[in-house]
Structure 1
Amino acid sequence: MEKADWYLKMIQWREKRIGQRQFVLILSVVIGFATSVAANLLKGFIHFIQNFVTESASRFELNYWYLIFPSVGILLASLFVRYIVKDDISHGVTRILYAISQRKSILKLHNTWSSLVGSSVTIGFGGSVGAEAPIVLTGSAIASNLGKFFKLDQKTLMLLIGCGAAGAIGGIFKAPIAGLVFTLEVLMLDMTMASVVPILLTSVTATTFTYIFAGSAFMFNFTNYEPFMVERIPQFVILGIVCGLVSLYFTRGMMKAEGFFKKIKKPVWKLLAAGSLLSLLIFVFPPLYGEGYNTIEALINGHSEDVMNNSLFLNFGDS
């Protein structure tokens, strides 16, 4: 009873002493810090697991462990979700949109950590997925539960969810504007000063703390010495069209793959089918291992031969 009284008094004190707009700005900074911590923990866990399981491999020989590691990662993640979380944590952005539209912008408490753990294991052991959706769900869940703790209304909770998503993107990429654009475009929040300022504040805060935690190094380091040329615009247009088609292919391919695996009722057979297929693909083409940022960096820096490391095509990379 005393704890409940203290909690209610704290809520009442906040409502009397701190205005709603000012309190949202304060929470924006807190969420920015929390999402930065979560983003750096996620990247740290992924790199730790990946380095731990692959450190003994030589870049000049086939790594037959690639036939095992991805399946192990899927198995561990499945056991974690099935027996510890006991809830579906897939499709982070979809769950956020569902929470906004159907659950009064409330995300479950376990989403503040379950996606972080599950994706760390999956990606660290070689799962060819990105860390962006899990960290966005984690950041949004942190913001949603923080707003729920202070008994904020549904409209404010929706804004805080946007702040959490922006902070997650800004924190993991060190790109505050990307966090703002992602939230406004993907989560489709209103583009008003009342929403843009807290979202941008969260994203900038998360980016700032990521610089403090991880240093000033960028994910991709490259310099363009050539000035922009108008005659290259058609090439950019073609590139945009190709990228759009690839995105469409990826989305529809993923949906069809999900539909196929949903027809497999027994989890054991589903695990064997998915794990075996993924492991075989990674063994044949190791750049599929994990996030894939190392491969992108190698291509940007002109080290295309590194893409063939540990693969059946190693000799082609040397030629």
Structure 2
Amino acid sequence: MIKFQKLGIVSVLIGFLCAFMAVSLKRLTEHYEEILFHKASSNWIFFLVFPVFGLSVIYFLRQHLFKKKENKGIKEIFESTGSRTKKLPVYKIPSHFFNGLLTVAFGGSTGIEVSTVVASAAIGSVAQQKENVFKRHKTELICAGIAAGITALFCSPIAGVLFAFEVISKKVTKTFALTTSLSVAVAYGFILLLDEKPLFEVSVTNWHLYAFPYFLLLGVLAGINSVYLTKSVIYIKSKFGQIEKHSTKILIGSAIISLSLLVLPQLYGEGYHAIKDLFSNSDSVVLTTSFVLTMSGVLLLKPIITSVTLASGGDGGVFAPSMFIGAFLGLLMASLLNTYFDADVIPLNFMIIGMAAMLSASIHAPFTALFLICGLINNYTLFLPILAVCLVSKTTAQLLYPYTVYSYQPKTVS
């Protein structure tokens, strides 16, 4: 009982700290990204300046503050939970916080979700190191931190618990149930206290049964696109890994990012600003040549720019890029169906389902994607089609390529 009491107390503390950190990072990123994107939209020269500046500052911080250690994302968590000796050091908290903020605010085409996850995991790991009684429960306390961070970021406690289970722990114990439920409860209470709003304010009222086959097709397409995203990240990271000078990586990476932003400003940062614009105008979209070219350009370039951002030193992962690609894919498909097949489907529904399908396929976690997207829009009308499509997209992705960005291990030459 004493052990469980101590675990309960530390879980509450982890929940509060992770929620506070996640909300702070989200609000700071939104604030500075909006300001800097507006500046760049008014003067194109900033599209050239911001990426190289952001990546250079990140490299400077890594060299002089963060022990010259590169951030490996969620793989760092797997290394820690899979070893008795490896720990997530305390400097990983500010490292991922500031590097994630700088990457997205200055135009890096990724999101803060993975930065939040690893920083939250580090909070749990540091707490585990403080008491001998916690040494056997490293994974559970790390998962408690992750679940709290995801809860605060997406306003979805169920998504927080499911992500910790589906992606990190993959098993449920009494300790896991205790620590994650307490940390998530505290995190959710904290965001309710702050009156945090859902990221996307949309009105979903209904969906039609005749659209179900189209939803399933969207799931297959999302699975294929997720494999393109995963392979892009793996391939481009391996190529950048062969470049010895970090200054060369920064120059090449920022040049590619800048040129892409000049062509498609929608690729700036997380891209949530572009998704919100699409949500508000989805019903009035007209299928023109320029619209198709823009949508196709986004679907083709986003995985490449995300990969380049991460490979050249940016901090982040595939959460936000997956949702971004899914929204554009869903809108493009709905527009094609309505124009050429008189399908009379609802574009907004396809965007939301596309976001969930891409996320599910990219991280192989359908239930996390389901509750996370429903939490993002604060609406469960599309629960059943999202569930079906998430399972289809994950299965498609696994059949085409069994790895995610997080589970892939490069082959070592013996």
**Shorter-chain TM-score: what band?**
0.7 to 0.9
Do structure 1's residue 260 and structure 2's residue 243 form an aligned pair? Answer: no
Partner of 1:218: 198
Alpha-carbon offset, residue 248 of structure 1: 1.4
Partner of 2:392: none
Task: Specify the code of the residue in structure 2 equivalent to 1:290.
Answer: G
| Match among 223, 233, 258 for residue 212 of structure 2 | 233
Report the Cα distance in structure 2 between the residues aligned to 1:71 and 1:160, rounded to whole angstroms. Answer: 37
Alpha-carbon offset, residue 127 of structure 1: 0.7
Please give the residue correspondences for 1:269-288 in structure 2 after superposition, counting only pairs within 5 Å.
269-288=248-267
Segment drifting more, 155-164 vs 195-204: 195-204
**Residues 91, 133 of structure 1: 8 Å contact kept:** no
| Match among 25, 43, 48 for residue 26 of structure 2 | 43
**Residues 162, 183 of structure 1: 8 Å contact kept:** yes
Report the Cα distance in structure 1 between the residues aligned to 2:186 and 2:196, rounded to whole angstroms. Answer: 15
**Residues 151, 187 of structure 2: 8 Å contact kept:** yes
Report the Cα distance in structure 1 between the residues aligned to 2:72 and 2:215, rounded to whole angstroms. Answer: 30
Report the Cα distance in structure 2 between the residues aligned to 1:73 and 1:23, rounded to whole angstroms. Answer: 41
| Match among 161, 174, 188 for residue 207 of structure 1 | 188
Inter-CA distance 46–216: structure 2 relative to 1 (3 Å threshold): closer
TM-score by length of 2: 0.65
Alpha-carbon offset, residue 75 of structure 1: 0.8
Partner of 2:384: none
Report the Cα distance in structure 1 between the residues aligned to 2:245 and 2:198, rounded to whole angstroms. Answer: 44
Alpha-carbon offset, residue 62 of structure 1: 5.7
**Residues 123, 130 of structure 1: 8 Å contact kept:** yes
Do structure 1's residue 128 and structure 2's residue 109 form an aligned pair? Answer: yes
Alpha-carbon offset, residue 102 of structure 1: 2.4
Partner of 1:292: 271
Report the Cα distance in structure 2 between the residues aligned to 1:103 and 1:118, rounded to whole angstroms. Answer: 27
**Residues 77, 121 of structure 1: 8 Å contact kept:** yes
Partner of 1:308: none
Report the Cα distance in structure 1 between the residues aligned to 2:174 and 2:223, rounded to whole angstroms. Answer: 31
Inter-CA distance 105–301: structure 2 relative to 1 (3 Å threshold): farther
Inter-CA distance 126–176: structure 2 relative to 1 (3 Å threshold): same
Gapped runs of 5+ residues in structure 2?
Answer: 286-293, 295-414
Report the Cα distance in structure 2 between the residues aligned to 1:163 and 1:238, rounded to whole angstroms. Answer: 36
Report the Cα distance in structure 1 between the residues aligned to 2:240 and 2:115, rounded to whole angstroms. Answer: 21
Report the Cα distance in structure 2 between the residues aligned to 1:126 and 1:257, rounded to whole angstroms. Answer: 19
Do structure 1's residue 78 and structure 2's residue 59 form an aligned pair? Answer: yes
Partner of 1:31: 14
**Residues 64, 283 of structure 1: 8 Å contact kept:** no
Cα RMSD of the aligned pairs, angstroms, is 2.2
**Residues 7, 134 of structure 2: 8 Å contact kept:** no
Inter-CA distance 89–174: structure 2 relative to 1 (3 Å threshold): farther
Report the Cα distance in structure 1 between the residues aligned to 2:66 and 2:207, rounded to whole angstroms. Answer: 52
Higher relative contact order (CA 8 A, sep 6+): 1
**Residues 140, 175 of structure 2: 8 Å contact kept:** no
Alpha-carbon offset, residue 49 of structure 1: 2.8
Task: Specify the code of the residue in structure 2 equivalent to 1:82.
Answer: Q
Partner of 2:319: none
**Residues 121, 142 of structure 2: 8 Å contact kept:** yes
Report the Cα distance in structure 2 between the residues aligned to 1:249 and 1:137, rounded to whole angstroms. Answer: 24
Please give the residue correspondences for 1:1-319 in structure 2 after superposition, counting only pairs within 5 Å.
19-56=2-39, 63-104=44-85, 106-213=87-194, 215-227=195-207, 229=209, 231-302=210-281
Deviation track 1:87-139 (CA, whole Å, cap 9, x = no partner) reads 43423211000111125462111012111011111111111111111111111
Report the Cα distance in structure 2 between the residues aligned to 1:77 and 1:167, rounded to whole angstroms. Answer: 26
TM-score by length of 1: 0.83
SS of aligned partner of 2:126: helix
Q: Percent identity?
A: 27
Inter-CA distance 296–281: structure 2 relative to 1 (3 Å threshold): same
Alpha-carbon offset, residue 51 of structure 1: 3.9
Gapped runs of 5+ residues in structure 1?
Answer: 1-17, 306-312, 314-319
Report the Cα distance in structure 1 between the residues aligned to 2:34 and 2:26, rounded to whole angstroms. Answer: 12
Deviation track 1:45-89 (CA, whole Å, cap 9, x = no partner) reads 32343244344456xx56331111111111111111122112434
Report the Cα distance in structure 2 between the residues aligned to 1:217 and 1:96, rounded to whole angstroms. Answer: 29
Report the Cα distance in structure 2 between the residues aligned to 1:235 and 1:199, rounded to whole angstroms. Answer: 37
